[in-house]
């Protein structure tokens, strides 16, 4: 039989078994006090025998109280206390007035106490033990085996005994039902707490969990709610446009665009769980690795082709110039112009594929920005564009000014080419606590979202005469400075390129580069 004595009971006691033992001891002491009063007034009466029984019971229950913490987890200890109760109560009834004695109610009290400690079957067994004991002592007393004073006839007393026995059994059945019900309530409570604990644990994860039933969202953890909002009750199609096993989904409208990887797990025909993870940084790293691999390939290709192409170009250029000196021909100019363009392209290849030589100096970059913008305003490609510049004075930056001019110039040329006719280019330069920031924005055609991650790839271009090396060079130079470049663009509205370079923060020990 199951012993429930290890569960936490009343706050005054460590376990319910302790509470049971000490409450019984208190009841026994109360009865002992009553027996002492009775023995005081009638020294030779039945009360004197009750006094001896009470003293014995109190002594035994005191021993139980001393042993309860040692044997509190033992089912045998609980049943020994049930047996002690049965003997004690039955002895009190035997030496008192029989079935009419108020001590009969102690059986009921014992059943109620044990209901906190025994299993449902154990409770009904205890009730049967008490009933059999009461029946036995009643039969013995009514048959004249005990010195009972009968003020009613035997039939009435027998009926009274029968009613008491039935009552004890009913109390046992009720106790068994209550314990069974309590067990179900405890089980529901444990499940509720487990679900709550699991929910709190899931809410701590940086991974989103969405549960679907028949295609309807029924639960989601904190990370998923942070990304999609409270969408319980909505269909999966409203949140997840893709229905494959694994897919990447953009998260737009919460600052910079982020990418979520979604993996669908099918539990059964109706239940599905979608696990979501923010893979923005991972995808950016993968793109960076792919870009570096392409750069390596470009380097090898450029190094092998440059020397093979430049010598024929030099010969071709010299031959055309010799022919031009003997007689003018419009084709000579065309050939020379194309030869120069090919030679410039080869120079770009060589410059891009070679190691990036950096010569950093500690400078104030604002002046460099102003000089480049002023020079760009005089460029023919800027003739129909309005260039606005806004700068804020600040600290110094360790940078290669020539490379930095190359970054600014390429971004300005890119902005001008994005504007088909007339438009505006805005240049903002400012300092934050960690960075020197330059933002170049235009109101040009914008960049398609599907192409945005490719614009820094070498040889990728959307212009007919472009080489695709300008923005790739910009990204390479910014990375060499320990900085970062970010692009924001909307088709038909324009683009914005933000360059961040780590600035120098003054300290008592001098200047140092701040790790941003």
Q: What is the pLDDT along the chain (516 residues), one digit of tens a residue?
A: 444 444 444 455 566 667 667 777 777 777 777 666 655 655 544 445 666 777 777 777 777 777 767 766 677 777 777 778 778 777 777 777 667 777 777 777 777 777 767 777 777 787 888 788 778 777 777 777 676 656 556 677 777 777 777 777 777 777 777 766 666 666 666 766 666 656 666 667 778 888 888 888 888 888 888 788 888 888 888 888 776 788 888 887 666 678 888 888 888 878 888 888 888 888 888 877 877 777 677 667 666 666 677 677 777 777 777 777 776 677 777 777 777 777 776 776 666 666 677 888 898 899 999 999 998 888 888 888 889 999 888 778 888 988 899 899 989 988 998 888 889 999 999 998 889 999 999 998 888 887 777 788 777 777 666 667 788 888 888 988 989 999 998 888 999 999 999 987 554 444 444 433
Asked if residue 498 lies in contact with residue 486, where contact means CB atoms within 8 angstroms, the answer is yes
CA–CA separation, 470 vs 462, rounded Å? 12
130-154 as b/e: b if 16+ CB within 10 A: bbebbeebbeebbeeeeebeeeeee
- In the sheet that 216-220 helps form, which strands lie side by side, from edge to edge? 216-220, 208-213, 271-278, 258-266, 246-251
User: What's the CATH architecture for 282-353?
Assistant: Orthogonal Bundle (1.10)
Q: Which fold is adopted by the domain 208-278?
A: Beta-Lactamase (3.30.450)
Domain boundaries, the chain: 16-199, 208-278, 282-353, 361-513
Q: Which fold is adopted by the domain 361-513?
A: Heat Shock Protein 90 (3.30.565)
Do domains 208-278 and 361-513 share one topology? The answer is no
Q: Closest Cα partner for 218 from 199, 197, 236, 198?
A: 236
pTM over 0.75: no
The kind and range of the H/E element at 312 are helix 280-326
């Amino acid at each position: 039989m199951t012993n429930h004595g290890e569960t936490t009971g009343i706050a005054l006691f460590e376990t319910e078994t302790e509470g049971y033992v000490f409450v019984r001891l208190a009841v026994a002491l109360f009865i002992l006090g009553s027996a002492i009063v009775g023995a005081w007034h009638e020294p030779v009466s039945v009360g004197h025998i009750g006094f001896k029984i009470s003293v014995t019971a109190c002594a035994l229950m005191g021993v139980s109280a001393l042993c309860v913490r040692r044997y509190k987890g033992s089912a045998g200890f609980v049943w020994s206390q049930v047996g002690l109760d049965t003997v004690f109560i039955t002895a009190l009834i035997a030496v008192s007035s029989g079935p009419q004695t108020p001590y009969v109610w102690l059986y009921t009290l014992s059943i109620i106490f044990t209901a906190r400690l025994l299993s449902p079957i154990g409770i009904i067994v205890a009730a049967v033990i008490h009933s059999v004991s009461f029946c036995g002592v009643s039969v013995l007393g009514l048959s004249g085996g005990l010195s009972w004073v009968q003020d009613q006839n035997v039939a009435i007393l027998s009926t009274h005994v029968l009613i008491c026995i039935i009552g004890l059994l009913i109390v046992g059945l009720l106790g068994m039902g209550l314990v069974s019900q309590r067990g179900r309530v405890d089980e529901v409570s444990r499940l509720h707490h487990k679900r709550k604990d699991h929910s709190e644990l899931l809410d701590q994860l940086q991974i989103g969990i969405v549960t679907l039933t028949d295609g309807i969202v029924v639960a989601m953890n904190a990370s998923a709610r942070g990304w999609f909002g409270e969408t319980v009750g909505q269909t999966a199609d409203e949140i997840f446009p893709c229905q494959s096993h694994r897919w990447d989904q953009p998260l737009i409208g919460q600052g910079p665009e982020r990418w979520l990887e979604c993996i669908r797990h099918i539990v059964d025909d109706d239940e599905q769980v979608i696990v979501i993870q923010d893979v923005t940084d991972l995808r950016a790293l993968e793109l960076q690795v792919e870009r570096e691999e392409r750069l390596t390939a470009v380097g090898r290709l450029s190094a092998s082709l440059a020397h093979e192409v430049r010598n024929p170009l030099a010969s071709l250029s010299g031959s055309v110039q010799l022919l031009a000196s003997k007689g003018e021909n419009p084709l000579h100019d065309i050939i020379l112009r194309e030869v120069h363009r090919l030679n410039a392209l080869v120079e770009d290849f060589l410059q891009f594929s070679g190691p990036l030589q950096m010569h950093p100096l500690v400078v104030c970059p604002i002046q460099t920005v102003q000089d480049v913008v002023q020079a760009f305003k005089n460029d023919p490609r800027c003739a129909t564009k309005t260039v606005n510049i806004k700068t804020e004075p600040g600290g110094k930056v360790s940078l290669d000014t020539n490379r930095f001019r190359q970054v600014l110039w390429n971004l300005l040329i890119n902005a001008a080419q994005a504007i088909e006719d007339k438009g505006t280019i805005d240049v903002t330069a400012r300092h934050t606590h960690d960075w020197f920031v330059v933002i170049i924005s235009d109101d040009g055609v914008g960049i398609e979202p599907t192409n945005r991650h490719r614009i820094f790839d070498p040889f990728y271009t959307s212009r007919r005469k472009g080489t695709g090396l300008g923005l790739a060079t910009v990204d390479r130079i910014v990375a060499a400075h320990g900085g970062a470049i970010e692009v924001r663009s909307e088709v038909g509205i324009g683009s914005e390129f933000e360059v961040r370079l780590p600035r120098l923060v003054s300290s008592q020990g001098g200047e140092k580069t701040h790790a941003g």
